[in-house]
Structure 1
């Protein structure tokens, strides 16, 4: 599984980049056969109270050609990342259950032909 950090709030140190990549790989490892890559983007915005918010967006391109997304806004980078990872895991689990019920997937994500 490849993890691509496409956009970051600031230049991430190599250590922080590896930490984020490892966190994603560990969290998504049981779904690894369903997709090949993960794209992650971190950005900042101001909310209506002029407070800084961190946005974390995770996109996963499935082998079926579909794309699953999770967009989260939080007050800290760690909170945004953790919430986005949890949401994308739920999305993957729902998608996997749906596809198993429709007999599209077999053997943990290998497309039946």
Structure 2
């Protein structure tokens, strides 16, 4: 279990699209960003070091620009069974969008409200 780094709040998918570069910087600095769609937790943006420790069965890789432009398709991939989408910037993995099936934050720091 990983604790969410304060003061990270749950980020709606629509807000993620608008502020992806801001959230990328936060995650690269070590924060975990929970993402929701209509109040349902759909995944987490996590640093590479955390994602590499997870039990990942199926994975995809896409650029941050493709991720932003196809955000709904990306989370639908997680919902359909993909465990991790590695997000690249200039050809290098920078962060990961992981499924709620493989990543769990600690309950006392869960920010659902």
User: TM-score, normalised to structure 1's length?
Assistant: 0.26
More strand by share: 1
More helix by share: 1
User: TM-score, normalised to structure 2's length?
Assistant: 0.26
Larger Rg: 1
- Which of structures 1 and 2 has the larger relative contact order (alpha carbons within 8 angstroms, sep 6+)? 2
